[in-house]
Amino acid sequence: MKIAAAAYPLDWFSSWREYEEKLTRWVRDGAEQGAALLVFPEYGAMELVSLAGEETAADLVRAAQAVSDLMDDVNSLHRELAARFGVHILGASAPVVTEGRIVNRAHLHTPNGQTGHQDKQIMTLWERDPWGVQGQGPLRVFDTAIGRIAINICYDSEFPLLARAQRQADILLVPSCTDAAEGYWRVRIGAQARAMENQCVAVMSSVIGPFPQVEAVDISTGCGGIYGPPDCGFPADGVIAQGALDRPGWTVGAVDPAAISAVRSGGNVRHRSHWEEGLPHDIAELCTLK
């Protein structure tokens, strides 16, 4: 099957219809390229704050609430598009206000009308302060018609024990939003490392470009990428498909689910099954050599 990872620029809308038209174009384009799974990035939903105006956009807490208030409609639109085009969609993540807390939530939609979500676990320093976004469990693995899917939102992909807890997954989705090249590379390296360790496919999507109205996403850099373990059945460097930095559009790559099973059972290395051998060591012994 084919998977599409977005490099997604944010737009300022004057109406809900403009957002609906944009999302429809993106989903149609991905589906026409043959993708069965479309992956949008972290905080891509922040463009919806435009519907509340610039004054709201300039206030982080009010901006989060404004976007959160629209998420029922956003999810309904995604489910309609998933059914119309016969694709699975990871919608762009959004700040969602729940029980008085702001969480960073990504929703996964299937063609038959099902929706699940994953909240980000570990916040970046900036998300913690000044924004006040908080991590929230549990970690999930979604059993779908195209395989088992897990989600590590951006910074989460840099912590291997999270993806390790989701090791049942065949496909790990890594929606990201990074303001500088070093942030992009941290997440990309994390995604590729998680693909190697869990012998799975990792899919990274990115917000790109300027959006000066909202401090949280005022400038972003990145691209789409699809990665596998560097082992038999996959490219030697693990790169299945790679987009150009900061160029908008889909990066599409073909993934054979059978290759994931094969590398896990018959690969040249067995990271996934040998992982347990490293666990007894809580902390390395400090030795002084003089």
Q: Which residues are catalytic?
A: 42, 120, 154
Q: Which of 5, 13, 121 is nearest to 57 (CA)?
A: 13
Per the structure block, which two tokens stand in for 13? 């809308």
Rounded Cα distance, 56 and 62, in Å: 6
> 């993106």: which residue's tokens?
26
CA distances from 128 to 60, 124, 132, 238 (A): 12, 6, 5, 33
**3-30: buried (b, 16+ CB within 10 Å) or exposed (e) per residue?**
bbbbbbbbeebeeeeebbeebeebbebb
What is the distance between the alpha carbons of residues 243 and 21, in angstroms, rounded to a whole number? Answer: 24
With beta carbons less than 8 A apart as the criterion, state whether 139 and 106 touch: no
Among 157, 121, 141, 148, CA closest to 260: 148
**88 vs 52: CA distance, rounded Å:** 29
Contacts of residue 224, Cβ cutoff 8 Å, sequence gap at least 6: 4, 5, 6, 7, 39, 203, 204, 205, 206, 241, 242, 243, 249, 250, 251
